[in-house]
A = this chain, B = another copy of it.
């Protein structure tokens, strides 16, 4: 299991008439969470995409426990629960400054060769960096 945290501050543009973060904006927060989790691991998603691998989302599941509000400083904990093979799952937990869990969700993404649009395995650069976090599962 690999986990990383990052923070972001809720923007006015992300709120809605209900005074809460619009429910559709959490997906962009997940994206910040997973890109920063990969960056902390040593992997740039932009570089990955520039190398010809894109990671479109296949599924997304969101659970709204309590509303996030304007100007809240949110902590996003992103977890990769399993070693990726043909897909990668990311789990997200969003906390407010008091440490209260506001929101949780998960996304499953594929690895696609942009040249031909076909699924490929997780890039070696990614699995090499993740391997130390999944020693037990790998059989050793």
Contacts and interface: CB of A to CB of B under 8 A. Distances in A.
A13 B13 contact: no
A41 to B, nearest CB: 15
Main secondary structure on A side of the interface with B: mixed
Q: How large is the interface on A (under 10, 10 to 19, 20 to 34, 35 or more residues)?
A: 35 or more
Contacts of A107: 23
Copies in the complex: 4
Interface string A39-78: 0000011100100001011111111100100110000000
Given A46-B70, A71-B45, A56 B20 contact: yes
Interface of A: 11-13, 15-20, 22-28, 31-32, 35, 44-46, 49, 54, 56-64, 67, 70-71, 107
